[in-house]
């Protein structure tokens, strides 16, 4: 079976350490979590068009989008009007849906509200940020 090609969507300002934890799990040879991570490293630009271009390329090359759902998943980004939607996660979900990606949703805390664009996308859910829950959601997606 080929590895899933996964783009990870997360709130960089508030939840990047959860993305780094996932990366550490992927890189650990003893971990059962195994997929090709196509998430870009930090994009060194404030240019919205440049950021969208990098993200679009990565999303197009992915088969799945894993959304890390944190406390601020539905908050407005300061540049939301230029982004064209509420925040970068919303934009990544909408772009991923356009590209036909399957979705994996991972809540950091079960009480956090998922980004609204994620609803009705047929996502496989992990309702907590625990390895077994994440592993199960990835495998079922």
- For residue 7, what are the contacts with CB-CB under 8 A and spacing of at least 6? 38, 39, 58, 59, 62, 64, 65, 66, 92, 96, 101
CA-derived radius of gyration, the chain: 14
Q: Which domains does the chain have, with CATH numbers?
A: 5-140 (3.40.50.11200)
Residue 129 has, within 13 A of its CA and on its CB side, a CA count of 19
Which DSSP letter does residue 100 get?
T
CB 68 within 8 A of CB 8: yes
Instruction: Going residue by residue through the chain, which has 141 residues, state the pLDDT in tens, using 9 for 90 and above.
Output: 577 889 999 998 899 999 999 888 888 777 766 677 667 667 777 889 999 999 999 999 999 999 999 999 999 999 999 999 999 999 999 999 999 999 999 999 999 999 999 999 999 999 999 988 998 999 899
Q: At what angle do helices 48-60 and 88-98 cross, to 10 degrees?
A: 40
- For the question of whether the overall pTM of this predicted structure is more than 0.85, the answer is yes
């Amino acid at each position: 079976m080929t590895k899933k090609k996964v783009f990870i969507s997360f709130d960089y300002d508030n939840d990047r350490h959860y993305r780094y934890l996932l990366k550490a799990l992927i890189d650990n040879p003893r971990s059962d979590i195994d997929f090709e991570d196509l998430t870009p490293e930090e994009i060194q630009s404030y240019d919205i068009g440049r950021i969208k271009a990098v993200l679009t390329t990565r999303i197009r090359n992915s088969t799945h989008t894993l959304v890390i759902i944190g406390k601020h998943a539905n908050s407005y980004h300061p540049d939301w009007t230029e982004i064209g939607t509420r925040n970068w996660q919303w934009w990544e979900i909408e772009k991923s849906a356009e590209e036909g990606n399957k979705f994996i949703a991972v809540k950091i805390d079960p009480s956090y509200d998922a980004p609204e664009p994620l609803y009705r996308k047929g996502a496989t859910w992990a309702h907590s940020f625990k390895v077994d829950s994440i592993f199960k959601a990835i495998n079922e997606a």
